[in-house]
Chains A and B, each alone.
Chain A
Amino acid sequence: MISKLFTALTVSFFALFSSLVSASSIDETINSVFSSATGWFVSLIFSPLPGTSFPWIVLWLVVGASVFTLYFGFIQFRAIGHSISLVKGDYSNPNDAGEVSHFQALATALSGTVGLGNIAGVAVAVSIGGPGATFWMILAGLLGMASKFAECTLGVKYRNQFDDGRVSGGPMYYISKGFIERGLPAGFGKFLAALFAVFCIFGALGGGNMFQANQAHAQLSGVIGDYPGWITGIIFAVVVFAVIVGGIKSIANVTEKVVPFMGVLYVGTALVIILMNADKIGWAFGQIFEGAFTGLGVAGGMVGALIQGFKRAAFSNEAGVGSAAIAHSAVRTNEPITEGLVSLLEPFIDTVVICTMTALVIIITQQLVVDPTTGLYMLNESGTIQTADGSSGVALTSAAFASAFSWFPYILVVAVVLFAFSTMLSWSYYGLKAWTYLFGESKGAELTFKIIFCIFVFIGATISLGPVIDFSDAAIFAMAVVNIIGLYFLMPVVKKELNSYMTRLRAGEFKKFK
């Protein structure tokens, strides 16, 4: 299967570039080649359960998050206060200053997850699944906190620390090492780890790259006028190349500093719009709850809303996907469980807070067209809800914000570009770690991956939304398939760590420094 995936991609590359020479429309050619090359993979991941329209992968994520929630005794609710204390540095020994703090690991992981999933992904969810998708998205965010807790604890516990002080961690390391430590079949662990690494590379190229480039282009062309996607693609690819290959750190540094500011600005503006429409807040929540259980006319009804909510939440907060474990593994701590406790805040901030803000703004500003006679949402030919100006994806979010502040699309375009860029940088690292796990830590291997990554930036900006979203989703969810299997086998390790830590915490063994 792995070789089939690689072969398909290699073939698509060559087909793509040979077609470019003679193509009358670059965009259309790339789109067509890409769709045919990845269609089988997308179908495999999203095939429905027999006799239903429910994709098995969504059930996989829901069951996984629910199992972890129950197994760890609702850790996301009972330990959230302690998580905040850890992030604030209450338990951080000042003598350890200079190492990566819990706050930094969380902020870095968030910069990889907070992005277009929160802006474009939510718009996609509510335009297909209706307002009810928001309810399921929030539920998925809350349950996903337990998945994130488990994977990030393992990420720190089983990371590789090289002699020169560098750190590499993530599912490929904890699955392979954890299986050996627990006496499970080492060969099976290695196979799963390698499979995860393969899917992580696809995820990095799909959701972490093409989706970002694609939606950044959509937003740019929406604001400054329509123009070919390959222009955005080339510019983005050159800038990404300059940072990840050329090592121009100043670009990355500026992005890392501006992104949190843009995040605060985005949430702040959303809050203002919600408060400006305070009289509709009750109605909006009514739509969310009613839509969650009836669908309010969306395709697939309640199940349609649920599927979209869970899909977009998983794509946005990446809980259970395993990517955050790579980011969090850099923190220096003697207690891996503390990083798990910190990481569970990530889905909360990303999904429960930011995604909900986006959804509320879209609903409250009435971008989704309701049939006045039935009170149900009106669908267009493709089965999605009709929107006020016919927009979808990031353009729908932009229209919602513009209905309150006409200038906001200009801010949003900067935010989208920066979010996209920051997410790409994070995923280039995740993909690189998976690549070096498979092909070894060498300069040549690293350069090969980085160049492939830049090529996919170009492709992502060029092709239309449908194939990109489908492939992005499929690649990210494929990571979750392997990672959650690994987590099921290794969750007793996390529980043992958790019980030990909590016992010592209650006994006052950990000094509070603030």
Chain B
Amino acid sequence: MSVTFIVGVDGSDASNRALAFAKRQASLVGEECKLMLVCVVEWSPYKFQTTEENAIRHKQKQEESDSAQKRVIDPLLEALKNDGINAEGRVIHGKAATILNNIAVENNAEQIFVARSTEQGLSARVFGSVTANLVMGSNVPVTVVS
């Protein structure tokens, strides 16, 4: 039976520590364990935008996704592959806590791994109060890595 661990990543040192911990747990489980790396680009459908921003939004979304894929997901997947860990990665827009939980439920994941906090910018958004929301609202166990 395969085991799936969800790992919230954003390229920061803190999220790398969470991934390292998840990797150790995956190694303990064995070959049937798969890591699913999820990079969430924070996005609210209720954010106010100008007409011009709306007109180029689709293009922007693609750029954001491509950037996160190249900057965050691809290097991590490459490193995991070299270490012999079965892994896949996704970039998704939305609310981080909701997305991580939804993906965990959809994939029958055993656990979610996230960092406690990160230093700034997107990282702070994803792993700041988002972590607390995830811990309180998650349908699967959550491991918060300091």
- Residues of B contacting A: mostly: helix
Is the Cβ of B45 less than 8 Å from the Cβ of A104? yes
Q: CA–CA, A430 to B56, complex, Å?
A: 15
Is A444 positioned at the interface, with any CB of B under 8 Å from its CB?
no
- A304-345 toward B: CB 8 Å interface, digit per residue (1/0)? 000000000000000000000011001110000000000000
Q: CA–CA, A111 to B94, complex, Å?
A: 24
- Contact with B102, one of A94, A103, A165, A168 (Cβ below 8 angstroms): A94
- A68-106 toward B: CB 8 Å interface, digit per residue (1/0)? 000000000000000000000100101101111101110
Is the Cβ of A107 less than 8 Å from the Cβ of B56? no
- The answer to whether A256 and B58 touch (CB under 8 A), given A97-B94, A98-B41, A98-B43, is no
Nearest residue in A to B64 (C-beta to C-beta)? A98
- A124-137 toward B: CB 8 Å interface, digit per residue (1/0)? 00000000000000
Is B62 positioned at the interface, with any CB of A under 8 Å from its CB?
yes
| B-chain residues with CB within 8 Å of residue A426 when the two chains form the complex | 50-51
Binding site for B on A (CB under 8 A): 89, 92, 94-95, 97-101, 103-105, 107-108, 111-112, 161, 164-168, 252-253, 256-257, 259-260, 326-327, 330-332, 425-426, 429-430
Is the Cβ of B94 less than 8 Å from the Cβ of A165? no
Q: CA–CA, A246 to B63, complex, Å?
A: 23
| A-chain residues with CB within 8 Å of residue B64 when the two chains form the complex | 98
Is the Cβ of A332 less than 8 Å from the Cβ of B58? yes
Is the Cβ of A256 less than 8 Å from the Cβ of B57? no
How many chain B residues touch A (Cβ–Cβ < 8 Å)?
27
Given contacts A97-B45, A104-B49, A327-B54, 14 further A-B contacts (CB under 8 A): A94-B94, A98-B93, A103-B45, A104-B48, A105-B54, A107-B48, A165-B62, A166-B55, A166-B58, A167-B54, A256-B48, A259-B48, A330-B54, A330-B55
Is the Cβ of A108 less than 8 Å from the Cβ of B41? no
Within the complex, the shortest CB–CB distance from B130 to chain A, in Å, comes to: 15
Q: CA–CA, A332 to B43, complex, Å?
A: 15
Is the Cβ of A97 less than 8 Å from the Cβ of B93? yes
- The answer to whether A166 and B59 touch (CB under 8 A), given A98-B41, A330-B54, is yes
Within the complex, the shortest CB–CB distance from A340 to chain B, in Å, comes to: 17
Is B83 positioned at the interface, with any CB of A under 8 Å from its CB?
no
Within the complex, the shortest CB–CB distance from B41 to chain A, in Å, comes to: 7
Most buried by B among A97, A330, A426: A97
- Contact with A108, one of B49, B56, B60, B92 (Cβ below 8 angstroms): B49
The contact sample of 18 A-B pairs, CB cut-off 8 A, is A94-B94, A94-B102, A95-B92, A97-B43, A98-B57, A98-B64, A99-B61, A100-B49, A104-B54, A161-B58, A165-B58, A166-B55, A166-B59, A167-B54, A256-B48, A256-B49, A330-B51, A332-B58
Nearest residue in B to A102 (C-beta to C-beta)? B45
Within the complex, the shortest CB–CB distance from B129 to chain A, in Å, comes to: 19
Q: CA–CA, A167 to B65, complex, Å?
A: 19
How many residue pairs, one in A and one in B, have C-beta atoms under 8 Å apart? 90
Q: CA–CA, A148 to B62, complex, Å?
A: 30
Q: CA–CA, A285 to B132, complex, Å?
A: 51
| A-chain residues with CB within 8 Å of residue B94 when the two chains form the complex | 94, 97-98
Q: CA–CA, A408 to B62, complex, Å?
A: 45
Is the Cβ of A167 less than 8 Å from the Cβ of B55? yes
Q: CA–CA, A89 to B46, complex, Å?
A: 10
- The answer to whether A164 and B57 touch (CB under 8 A), given A101-B46, A104-B47, A260-B48, is no
Within the complex, the shortest CB–CB distance from A238 to chain B, in Å, comes to: 19
Within the complex, the shortest CB–CB distance from B107 to chain A, in Å, comes to: 14
Within the complex, the shortest CB–CB distance from A431 to chain B, in Å, comes to: 11
| B-chain residues with CB within 8 Å of residue A166 when the two chains form the complex | 55-56, 58-59
- B8-47 toward A: CB 8 Å interface, digit per residue (1/0)? 0000000000000000000000000000000001010111
Within the complex, the shortest CB–CB distance from A4 to chain B, in Å, comes to: 30
Nearest residue in B to A328 (C-beta to C-beta)? B54
- The answer to whether A252 and B50 touch (CB under 8 A), given A97-B93, A98-B93, A101-B45, is yes
Q: CA–CA, A158 to B58, complex, Å?
A: 17
Q: CA–CA, A111 to B54, complex, Å?
A: 13
Nearest residue in B to A433 (C-beta to C-beta)? B55
- Contact with B51, one of A94, A101, A108 (Cβ below 8 angstroms): A108
